Homo-oligomer: A and B are copies of this chain.
Amino acid sequence: MHYSSKLIERAVEEIAKLPGIGKKSALRIVLHLLKQDPKQSHQLAEALIQLRDNIQYCRECHNIADEALCYFCKDTRRRRDIICVVEHFKDIAAIERTGHYHGLYHVLGGLISPIDGVGPQDIHIESLLQRVRQGEVTEVILALSSTMEGDTTAFYLTKRLKEQQVKVTALARGVPIGSELEFTDELTLTRSLLGRTEF
Protein backbone atom coordinates (compact mmCIF):
# COMPACT_ATOMS: atom_id res chain seq x y z
CA MET A 1 0.00 0.00 0.00
CA HIS A 2 1.07 3.54 -0.77
CA TYR A 3 0.80 6.01 2.10
CA SER A 4 2.35 9.01 0.27
CA SER A 5 4.08 9.89 3.55
CA LYS A 6 7.24 8.30 4.91
CA LEU A 7 6.20 9.27 8.44
CA ILE A 8 2.92 7.43 8.16
CA GLU A 9 4.55 4.50 6.39
CA ARG A 10 7.15 4.08 9.11
CA ALA A 11 4.60 4.36 11.94
CA VAL A 12 2.30 1.84 10.23
CA GLU A 13 5.20 -0.59 9.76
CA GLU A 14 6.25 -0.40 13.39
CA ILE A 15 2.70 -0.72 14.74
CA ALA A 16 1.95 -3.64 12.39
CA LYS A 17 4.83 -5.58 14.00
CA LEU A 18 2.73 -5.89 17.18
CA PRO A 19 0.79 -9.12 17.68
CA GLY A 20 -2.80 -9.10 16.40
CA ILE A 21 -2.41 -5.86 14.44
CA GLY A 22 -2.33 -5.87 10.64
CA LYS A 23 -1.48 -3.02 8.29
CA LYS A 24 -5.11 -1.87 8.06
CA SER A 25 -5.54 -1.62 11.84
CA ALA A 26 -2.13 0.04 12.07
CA LEU A 27 -3.21 2.72 9.60
CA ARG A 28 -6.42 3.22 11.57
CA ILE A 29 -4.36 3.71 14.73
CA VAL A 30 -2.08 6.20 12.94
CA LEU A 31 -5.03 8.25 11.63
CA HIS A 32 -6.55 8.16 15.11
CA LEU A 33 -3.34 9.45 16.70
CA LEU A 34 -3.14 12.24 14.12
CA LYS A 35 -6.60 13.41 15.15
CA GLN A 36 -5.77 13.36 18.86
CA ASP A 37 -3.74 15.77 20.96
CA PRO A 38 0.00 15.24 20.29
CA LYS A 39 0.30 14.63 24.05
CA GLN A 40 -1.31 11.22 23.63
CA SER A 41 1.31 9.98 21.15
CA HIS A 42 4.06 11.31 23.40
CA GLN A 43 2.65 9.60 26.48
CA LEU A 44 2.32 6.31 24.59
CA ALA A 45 5.89 6.54 23.29
CA GLU A 46 7.17 7.46 26.74
CA ALA A 47 5.31 4.55 28.40
CA LEU A 48 6.83 2.10 25.90
CA ILE A 49 10.36 3.38 26.45
CA GLN A 50 9.99 3.44 30.24
CA LEU A 51 8.58 -0.07 30.17
CA ARG A 52 11.33 -1.55 28.04
CA ASP A 53 14.21 0.26 29.71
CA ASN A 54 13.22 -0.04 33.36
CA ILE A 55 11.51 -3.39 33.76
CA GLN A 56 13.56 -5.97 35.64
CA TYR A 57 13.20 -9.31 37.36
CA CYS A 58 12.77 -9.56 41.12
CA ARG A 59 16.00 -10.82 42.68
CA GLU A 60 13.99 -12.94 45.14
CA CYS A 61 11.19 -14.54 43.12
CA HIS A 62 11.95 -13.69 39.44
CA ASN A 63 8.59 -11.98 39.02
CA ILE A 64 8.60 -8.93 36.79
CA ALA A 65 9.47 -5.85 38.87
CA ASP A 66 9.84 -2.09 38.68
CA GLU A 67 12.70 -2.22 41.21
CA ALA A 68 15.10 -4.84 42.59
CA LEU A 69 12.25 -6.42 44.56
CA CYS A 70 8.82 -7.02 43.05
CA TYR A 71 5.49 -5.73 44.29
CA PHE A 72 4.86 -8.86 46.40
CA CYS A 73 8.33 -9.44 47.87
CA LYS A 74 8.39 -5.75 48.88
CA ASP A 75 4.97 -5.90 50.56
CA THR A 76 5.56 -6.44 54.29
CA ARG A 77 1.89 -7.30 54.90
CA ARG A 78 2.15 -10.57 52.94
CA ARG A 79 2.81 -13.88 54.65
CA ARG A 80 6.45 -14.84 54.19
CA ASP A 81 6.08 -18.47 55.34
CA ILE A 82 4.29 -19.62 52.23
CA ILE A 83 5.47 -19.61 48.61
CA CYS A 84 3.30 -20.22 45.58
CA VAL A 85 5.32 -21.59 42.64
CA VAL A 86 4.14 -20.61 39.13
CA GLU A 87 5.51 -21.07 35.64
CA HIS A 88 5.05 -17.56 34.33
CA PHE A 89 4.46 -14.17 35.92
CA LYS A 90 1.13 -13.99 34.08
CA ASP A 91 -0.05 -16.83 36.33
CA ILE A 92 0.41 -14.54 39.34
CA ALA A 93 -2.28 -12.19 38.01
CA ALA A 94 -4.69 -15.16 37.78
CA ILE A 95 -4.03 -16.19 41.39
CA GLU A 96 -4.25 -12.59 42.63
CA ARG A 97 -7.67 -12.29 41.02
CA THR A 98 -8.98 -15.00 43.38
CA GLY A 99 -8.20 -12.73 46.33
CA HIS A 100 -7.53 -15.84 48.43
CA TYR A 101 -3.76 -15.93 48.49
CA HIS A 102 -1.64 -13.64 50.63
CA GLY A 103 1.77 -15.27 50.55
CA LEU A 104 4.82 -14.85 48.32
CA TYR A 105 5.47 -16.19 44.82
CA HIS A 106 8.24 -17.89 42.90
CA VAL A 107 8.33 -17.71 39.11
CA LEU A 108 10.07 -20.68 37.50
CA GLY A 109 10.22 -19.07 34.07
CA GLY A 110 9.38 -22.39 32.39
CA LEU A 111 8.64 -26.05 33.03
CA ILE A 112 10.85 -29.12 32.85
CA SER A 113 10.41 -30.60 29.39
CA PRO A 114 12.91 -33.27 28.30
CA ILE A 115 11.40 -33.23 24.80
CA ASP A 116 12.28 -29.51 24.42
CA GLY A 117 15.62 -29.97 26.17
CA VAL A 118 14.56 -28.00 29.25
CA GLY A 119 16.06 -29.52 32.38
CA PRO A 120 15.80 -28.57 36.09
CA GLN A 121 18.90 -26.37 35.76
CA ASP A 122 17.27 -24.27 33.02
CA ILE A 123 14.50 -22.90 35.21
CA HIS A 124 14.60 -21.09 38.58
CA ILE A 125 14.59 -24.17 40.83
CA GLU A 126 17.90 -23.65 42.66
CA SER A 127 16.85 -20.21 43.89
CA LEU A 128 13.57 -21.67 45.16
CA LEU A 129 15.43 -24.35 47.12
CA GLN A 130 17.72 -21.60 48.40
CA ARG A 131 14.73 -19.58 49.64
CA VAL A 132 13.30 -22.63 51.41
CA ARG A 133 16.71 -23.45 52.91
CA GLN A 134 16.67 -20.11 54.75
CA GLY A 135 14.07 -21.74 57.03
CA GLU A 136 11.26 -19.18 57.11
CA VAL A 137 9.06 -21.07 54.62
CA THR A 138 6.71 -23.77 55.92
CA GLU A 139 4.63 -24.49 52.81
CA VAL A 140 5.25 -24.48 49.07
CA ILE A 141 2.15 -24.51 46.85
CA LEU A 142 2.75 -25.84 43.33
CA ALA A 143 0.41 -23.89 41.04
CA LEU A 144 1.50 -25.40 37.75
CA SER A 145 -0.44 -26.23 34.60
CA SER A 146 -2.16 -29.58 34.47
CA THR A 147 0.01 -30.80 31.59
CA MET A 148 2.75 -33.39 31.19
CA GLU A 149 5.42 -30.70 31.70
CA GLY A 150 3.57 -29.27 34.72
CA ASP A 151 3.32 -32.70 36.32
CA THR A 152 6.97 -33.56 35.58
CA THR A 153 8.10 -30.30 37.16
CA ALA A 154 5.80 -30.79 40.16
CA PHE A 155 7.16 -34.30 40.64
CA TYR A 156 10.77 -33.12 40.53
CA LEU A 157 10.10 -30.16 42.84
CA THR A 158 8.28 -32.34 45.37
CA LYS A 159 11.25 -34.71 45.49
CA ARG A 160 13.75 -31.89 46.03
CA LEU A 161 11.58 -29.94 48.50
CA LYS A 162 10.77 -33.00 50.62
CA GLU A 163 14.52 -33.27 51.43
CA GLN A 164 14.07 -30.01 53.34
CA GLN A 165 11.07 -31.11 55.39
CA VAL A 166 8.83 -28.40 53.94
CA LYS A 167 5.14 -29.05 53.30
CA VAL A 168 4.46 -29.31 49.56
CA THR A 169 0.90 -28.90 48.24
CA ALA A 170 -0.57 -28.58 44.75
CA LEU A 171 -3.68 -26.97 43.31
CA ALA A 172 -6.66 -29.33 43.49
CA ARG A 173 -7.60 -30.97 40.20
CA GLY A 174 -11.24 -31.66 39.53
CA VAL A 175 -14.47 -30.69 37.82
CA PRO A 176 -14.44 -26.92 37.10
CA ILE A 177 -17.12 -24.86 38.85
CA GLY A 178 -20.19 -24.44 36.67
CA SER A 179 -19.38 -27.24 34.26
CA GLU A 180 -21.72 -30.15 33.70
CA LEU A 181 -20.61 -33.65 34.64
CA GLU A 182 -21.86 -35.00 31.32
CA PHE A 183 -19.30 -32.95 29.42
CA THR A 184 -16.34 -33.36 31.78
CA ASP A 185 -13.51 -35.39 30.24
CA GLU A 186 -12.59 -38.79 31.72
CA LEU A 187 -9.16 -37.73 32.98
CA THR A 188 -10.56 -34.82 34.97
CA LEU A 189 -13.35 -37.00 36.27
CA THR A 190 -10.88 -39.71 37.30
CA ARG A 191 -8.77 -37.14 39.16
CA SER A 192 -11.81 -35.67 40.88
CA LEU A 193 -12.97 -39.15 41.91
CA LEU A 194 -9.59 -40.18 43.29
CA GLY A 195 -9.26 -36.84 45.06
CA ARG A 196 -12.82 -36.80 46.38
CA THR A 197 -13.29 -34.77 49.55
CA GLU A 198 -15.45 -35.56 52.59
CA PHE A 199 -18.77 -33.71 52.65
Contact = CB atoms under 8 A, between A and B. Distances in A.
A9 to B, nearest CB: 9
Interface residues of A, number: 56
Given A20-B25, A29-B18, A90-B31, A71 B5 contact: yes
Interface stretch (A32-40, A139-147, A163-171): A32-40
A41 B48 CA distance: 6
B66 A6 contact: yes
A5 to B, nearest CB: 5
A64 B8 contact: yes
Contact of A51 (B20, B33, B51, B71): B33
B72 A51 contact: no
A53 B42 CA distance: 9
Given A46-B45, A48-B44, A72-B4, A19 B32 contact: yes
Contact of A64 (B4, B41, B50, B64): B4
Interface string A91-125: 01100110000000000000000000000000000
B17 A40 contact: yes
A92 B27 CA distance: 14
A1 interface: yes
A52 B48 contact: no
Given A4-B63, A38-B52, 8 more contacts: A4-B64, A5-B66, A11-B50, A14-B47, A15-B44, A17-B44, A18-B29, A33-B51
30 contacts: A1-B93, A2-B93, A2-B96, A2-B97, A4-B63, A4-B64, A4-B89, A5-B66, A6-B66, A7-B51, A11-B47, A11-B51, A14-B40, A14-B47, A17-B44, A18-B32, A18-B44, A20-B25, A20-B28, A20-B29, A21-B21, A31-B90, A33-B48, A34-B52, A38-B52, A41-B51, A41-B52, A42-B52, A45-B48, A45-B49
